Structure 1
Amino acid sequence: MSQYFYAGERMIWNSPGVLDGALFAAMAEVLSAQLKVPSGVSEMFNDECRIDGAVFETFVQALLERDCHDHSWFWRNLMPGYVLTAWILLERSGGTVQEPDYDHARHPESLRSWWAHWIERHDEAIENEWAYRPVE
């Protein structure tokens, strides 16, 4: 049974299984509390979830900022799939992600490679998974 995510009237994700969409929405609630930033993701109701694009854009940016500055093994291994899904849903809703703000002089190579790695993962996710999921 599918679950549908909407940004305004636009369906941006037809989640293929019961667990995927519900888990994404529940994680948004937990992460929102941890990051102290509203997620813009509504609770699941009748297999539908609404995303407030402007609020969600701030939330996704906060996820990437956290990843940029957090060196926790747990975070770095648990969160990539969630962050990529959020990033792609943000783009499908018309939003954009900015490269996180960090001190280029202090960490020039390590953070540039960190950002390049995220761009590579993002492009790979679109090519291998999301290109086949319609936006309506």
Structure 2
Amino acid sequence: MTAARGPGPGRVHDRTLHGNGPRLAFREGLTRRKVGPRGQQGEGDVSQYYKMGHRTLWNPSSGASRLFTRQVALYQAELGLTSGIGPMEADECQIDPTVFAAFANALLAWHAETRHAVMATLSAGFVATVLALAEKANIDVDWRAAESAESDYLKIAGPHAKEWTAALRQQVRELTRRLAP
């Protein structure tokens, strides 16, 4: 939806992708700025820091970070566990290693037991990201539970079932290399 506001050549146009979602507003011939869901202006894509102590584990753009933290809240509710990922304050958040380890292992176990194709697909990227963060934090993840669940599933599903644990491990390895500190 495009709406023009204001008079003449300096008119502001809003481009809204999804009714109440983020908008990109710009003045004709001038600069672009991000506008949040309620009209708040942002500085664009600044980065945020996910830290464990003084060590930076990940330094994503604010957009990637915002999406990630919203998914963290969703999976905390789904699992009934806190993630150990603290609030974002001044573009930094601290990760509690003990709590985060429990969350990462519970998330992997939940994902391993999920046999609903849509739920597994929707959660795969988030699970891989959490496991990559755990890897960067030198947190041991218990893949045995996932492999056991997969093994049980393969016995029932037959030889054509996809072995997703190996694919998930590969995705985690690739993401671990890409998570910029």
Aligned counterpart, 1:80 = 124
User: Which residue, out of 115, 126, 133, partners 2:165?
Assistant: 115
Q: How many residues align?
A: 130
Question: What are the ranges of 5 or more consecutive residues in structure 2 without an aligned counterpart?
Answer: 1-45
Question: Is 1:124 the equivalent of 2:168?
Answer: no
Tell me the TM-score normalised to structure 2 length: 0.63
In structure 1, distance between residues paired with 2:171 and 2:150:
22
In structure 2, distance between residues paired with 1:99 and 1:113:
13
Percent pairwise identity: 28
Question: Is 1:10 the equivalent of 2:55?
Answer: yes
In structure 2, distance between residues paired with 1:105 and 1:122:
20
| Structure ranking higher on relative contact order (CA contacts 8 Å, 6+ apart) | 1
User: Once the 2 structures are TM-superposed, how far is the Cα of residue 120 of structure 1 from its aligned partner?
Assistant: 2.0
Name the structure where helix makes up a greater proportion of residues. Answer: 1
In structure 1, distance between residues paired with 2:88 and 2:58:
13
Aligned counterpart, 2:96 = 52
SS class of match (2:93): strand
The answer (yes or no) to whether the contact 2:133–2:176 under 8 Å persists in 1 is: no
In structure 1, distance between residues paired with 2:82 and 2:56:
21
Instruction: Please give the root-mean-square deviation of Cα atoms over the aligned residues, in Å.
Output: 2.4
Question: What are the ranges of 5 or more consecutive residues in structure 1 without an aligned counterpart?
Answer: none
User: Once the 2 structures are TM-superposed, how far is the Cα of residue 104 of structure 1 from its aligned partner?
Assistant: 7.5
Tell me the TM-score normalised to structure 1 length: 0.81
More moved, 96-105 vs 118-127: 96-105
SS class of match (1:79): helix
Task: Return the index of the structure with the highest Cα Rg.
Answer: 2
